[in-house]
Amino acid sequence: MIVAASKKIIIAEDHRLFREGLKALLADNQGFEIVCEASDGLEAIRCARKHKADLILLDLSMPKMGGISAIKEIKRQFPDLKILVLTIHQSDQYVLETFEAGANGYCLKDAGRNELRMAIDSVLAGKTYLSPEISEQVMEGFIEGRKKMKTETTWDTITQREREVLKLLAEGYQNKEIAELLHISVKTVEKHRANLMGKLDLHNAATLTAYAIEKGLVTKKG
């Protein structure tokens, strides 16, 4: 009798309690092996490089590098690695950007045990998964290329790298720290910062932070 090899899974989630809950839930299912854990997008990329995994369970709202940026980088380096997003976000903007970045599935965090198992199995089988709570109109909009038809906004002009810099600025990192995290020069960080201020017509760290919170790049500290 041939025993199927366990599917190797990476969990990328910054909330430790939720991450521990996922581990416990998956431990009850034979055939899964947690090979690495990450608390931010940069760690998720490092996990993908270090372990030959089958699937990443990935949150969208994480520090240092958010989920969208992490998905793009992981898919660039490991196009066959499956990515199932676990998130609280239900807006069409998040769904569209997530699938366009290369994710294979989108599951809401309030999903039950059975739905999560179905989502994982579907993605591992090469299918696209979308939580049923998300409106049909969102998926239809994605399929029909709604994003291409809408009028370009100021947010649309912000590049992915500029969004990464904006997120880190809003989290309180200095230019030198951002350069180290993103493996770019301080001069390049300064250029991205200047571009952001010019495009958004925002001229200090406080207004940039407020804008990042408005766009959901970071969470407002209460």
Question: For residue range 154-212, what is the model confidence (pLDDT) as tens digits?
Answer: 887 888 889 999 999 988 999 999 999 888 899 999 999 998 988 888 888 888 888 88
CATH of 7-147, one of 3.40.50.300, 3.40.50.620, 3.90.1150.10, 3.40.50.2300: 3.40.50.2300
Question: For residue range 79-108, what is the model confidence (pLDDT) as tens digits?
Answer: 999 999 998 888 777 888 899 899 999 999
Residue 4 pLDDT greater than 70, yes or no? no
Helix (H, G, I), strand (E, B) or coil at 79: coil
Domain ranges of the chain: 7-147, 155-214
Predicted pLDDT at 74: 93
Top CATH class, 155-214: mainly alpha
Distance between CA atoms of residues 138 and 91, nearest Å: 8
Cα diameter, the chain: 67
pTM: 0.69
Question: For residue range 32-78, what is the model confidence (pLDDT) as tens digits?
Answer: 888 999 988 899 999 999 999 999 999 988 888 888 889 999 999 99
pLDDT band at residue 135 under the 50/70/90 scheme: low
Question: 């909330």: which residue's tokens?
Answer: 15
Predicted pLDDT at 1: 38
**Which of 85, 82, 121 has the alpha carbon at shortest distance from 106?**
85
**Count of C-beta atoms within a 10 Å radius of residue 203:** 10
pLDDT > 70 in the chain, percent = 87
pLDDT band at residue 2 under the 50/70/90 scheme: very low
- Average pLDDT across the chain, whole number: 85
Predicted pLDDT at 32: 87
Cα–Cα distances in angstroms (integers) from residue 105 to residues 36, 64, 98, 139, 157, in the given order: 20, 23, 9, 12, 26
Which amino acid type is present at position 138?
A: V
Higher pLDDT, 168 or 30: 168
**Count of C-beta atoms within a 10 Å radius of residue 122:** 18
Predicted pLDDT at 143: 60
pLDDT > 90 in the chain, percent = 34
Predicted pLDDT at 110: 85
The one-character DSSP state at 64 is S
